[in-house]
Chain A
Amino acid sequence: MKRRDEKLAVNLRDIAPEIKNIERRLFLRQGLSLGALTMLTGCDLGSGFSVQKVLDNMSKWNDGVQAAIFSPTTLAPTYPESAITKPFPFNAFYAESKAPVVNRSTYSLKLSGKIADRKPWTVADLRALPQESQITRHICVEGWSAIGKWSGVPFHIFLDRVGADKDAKYVGFKCADNYYSSIDMPTARHPQTILALDFADDELPVKYGYPMKLRVPTKLGFKNPKHIVEIFVTNDYPGGYWEDEGYNWYSGS
Chain B
Amino acid sequence: MMTKPKGLPSPHPLIVRLTHWVNAFAMVLMIGSGWRIYNASPLFDFMFPRSITIGGWLGGALQWHFAAMWLLVANGLVYLIYGLWSGHLNRAMLPVSPKSFWDDSVAALNFKLAHSLGTYNAVQKVLYLGVLALGVLVVLSGLAVWKPVQFHLLASVFGGYEGARLVHFFCMAGIVAFIFVHLALVLLVPSTLLPMITGRSPASHAKPHTEAPQ
**B161 near A142: Cβ-Cβ < 8 Å:** no
**B41 near A140: Cβ-Cβ < 8 Å:** yes
Grouping DSSP codes into helix (H, G, I), strand (E, B) and loop, the B interface class, with mixed when no group exceeds half, is helix
Selected contact of A76 from candidates B60, B62, B64, B149, CB within 8 Å: B149
Identify which of residues 233-253 in chain A touch chain B, using a CB-to-CB cut-off of 8 Å. Answer: 242, 245-248, 252-253
**A70 near B40: Cβ-Cβ < 8 Å:** no
**B150 near A74: Cβ-Cβ < 8 Å:** yes
**A247 near B62: Cβ-Cβ < 8 Å:** yes
**B161 near A145: Cβ-Cβ < 8 Å:** yes
Selected contact of B150 from candidates A62, A69, A141, A247, CB within 8 Å: A69
The verdict on A58 contacting chain B, using a C-beta distance below 8 Å, is yes
Selected contact of A253 from candidates B43, B63, B148, CB within 8 Å: B148
- Number of A residues near B (Cβ < 8 Å) is 31
A interface list, Cβ under 8 A from B: 54-56, 58-59, 62, 66, 69-71, 74-77, 137, 139-145, 217-218, 242, 245-248, 252-253
Contacts of B148 in A (CB 8 A): 77, 137, 139, 253
B63 — nearest CB in chain A belongs to which residue? A55
A21 to B11, CA, bound (A): 53
Selected contact of B66 from candidates A59, A74, A144, A218, CB within 8 Å: A59
The listed residue with most A CB atoms (<10 A of its CB), out of B58, B64, B149, is: B149
- Rounded to whole Å, the gap between the CB of A73 and the closest CB of chain B is 11
The verdict on B205 contacting chain A, using a C-beta distance below 8 Å, is no
A242 — nearest CB in chain B belongs to which residue? B59
- Number of B residues near A (Cβ < 8 Å) is 24
Knowing A55-B67, A137-B161 touch, does A143 contact B59 (C-beta < 8 A)?
no
A74 to B74, CA, bound (A): 27
Task: List, sorted by A's number, 27 A–B pairs whose CB atoms are closer than 8 Å.
Answer: A55-B67, A58-B66, A58-B70, A66-B147, A74-B150, A75-B149, A77-B152, A137-B148, A137-B161, A139-B148, A139-B161, A141-B58, A142-B41, A142-B58, A143-B40, A143-B165, A217-B149, A218-B149, A242-B59, A246-B60, A246-B62, A246-B63, A248-B66, A252-B147, A253-B147, A253-B148, A253-B149
**A77 near B160: Cβ-Cβ < 8 Å:** yes
- Rounded to whole Å, the gap between the CB of B63 and the closest CB of chain A is 4
- Rounded to whole Å, the gap between the CB of A54 and the closest CB of chain B is 7
Interface string of B161-182 (1 = CB under 8 A from A): 1100100000000000000000
Contacts of B128 in A (CB 8 A): none
**A252 near B150: Cβ-Cβ < 8 Å:** yes
The verdict on B138 contacting chain A, using a C-beta distance below 8 Å, is no
Interface string of B131-148 (1 = CB under 8 A from A): 000000000000000011
